[in-house]
Amino acid sequence: MEEALVGIWGLFISAFISSTIAPGGSEALLAYMVTAGDYQVEQLLIIATIGNTLGAMTTWGLGVLAANQFPIAALLPEKKQKALELVKRKGVWALFFSWLPLVGDALCFAGGWLKLPILPACLIILSGKFARYAVIAWMFI
């Protein structure tokens, strides 16, 4: 039981970190855990999605803080400026693609910078993250 709890927490932490400061990792861990068959797939999907969504919302919150401290968008790096323009054009729906490598974190940051409504932003981010993890789990069942 204790080993299973460590595995679940490991997945949660990996998913959280993958959505904030370090790229990758949680997808491979999810695939391994699904393949091992020691856990319910639904449980793994929920844990990975929650961890990854909380990490994305942390990045969203950093965008809010950055906008308050440095309201001039020209101070942002080029990648974040591009994400900011995309989110300005597409609105909260652009955050569905926060699961994408390289640009996903910038989209979440831009959503926070633009102070998009938190509940719709969180739900759309969660939907995109869940869809990505569901596809990965399905591939390894």
Q: What is the pLDDT of residues 92-113, one digit of tens each?
A: 999 999 999 888 999 999 999 9
Q: What is the mean pLDDT of the chain?
A: 91
Distance, CA of 102 to CA of 116 (rounded, Å): 21
Q: What is the mean pLDDT of residues 72-87?
A: 80
Tell me, what amino acid is at 119?
L
72 pLDDT above the threshold of 80: no
Pick from 112, 130, 107: nearest CA to 45: 130
Question: What pLDDT score does 95 carry?
Answer: 97
58 band by pLDDT with thresholds 50, 70 and 90: very high
Judged by average pLDDT, the poorest of 8-12, 54-58, 84-88, 132-136 is 84-88
Instruction: Judge contact between 48 and 133, C-beta under 8 A.
Output: yes
Q: What is the pLDDT of residues 18-30, one digit of tens each?
A: 988 676 689 999 9
Instruction: Judge contact between 67 and 115, C-beta under 8 A.
Output: yes
